Amino acid sequence: MKNILFLFIILAANSCQFEKKKDNIDACTKFDEVDNKILALMDKIELKHKGDRPFLGAFNMEQVYWIQYRDRRLRAIYPKKWDQHYRKNNGKEVFNPCKCRELLRLSERRIEDLQMYLIGGPADQQDCPSKLNE
């Protein structure tokens, strides 16, 4: 009976590790999908405002600054030595899947912000004259 219980514990632990690796792969794959959504939204926004050069310049700089923020946040959370530590302890993973989950979280928030250029600003700002409400 003890052997069966011990075997069950080992199988359950291995199953959890498999699920964790699967989640990590899914987060990286999902980030790629979300990144493509961001690019598609940017194209729609640029098309909507194609005649407004000052806005497009500011909008493009907004995206540059957002990417800088995103990348700096990742460097703060996961310094380079942490990546080396991760690869040493976990093997083949070249890109830290924890970064994928954080990239995914940040990118999903970015999509919400970008969608406001197409569907309008927050409810409490609908009467504000802005590009979000055009």
What pLDDT, in 10s, does the model give residues 7-33? 334 444 443 343 344 444 577 788 888
Q: pTM surpassing 0.75?
A: no
Q: Report how many domains make up the chain.
A: 1
Q: What is the pLDDT of residues 86-128, one digit of tens each?
A: 666 666 555 567 788 888 999 999 999 999 888 877 777 777 7
Token pair listed for 5: 């219980």
What contacts 24+ positions apart, CB below 8 Å, involve 118-125? 118/41, 118/44, 118/45, 118/48
Report whether 57 contacts 127 (CB < 8 A): no
| Cβ burial 1-22 (10 Å sphere, 16+ → b, else e) | eeeeeeeeeeeeeeeeeeeeee
For residue 79, the enclosing domain spans: 2-133
Residue 85 scores a pLDDT above 70: no
Q: What is the pLDDT of residues 16-75, one digit of tens each?
A: 343 344 444 577 788 888 989 999 999 999 999 999 999 999 999 999 999 999 999 988
Who has greater pLDDT, 130 or 115? 115
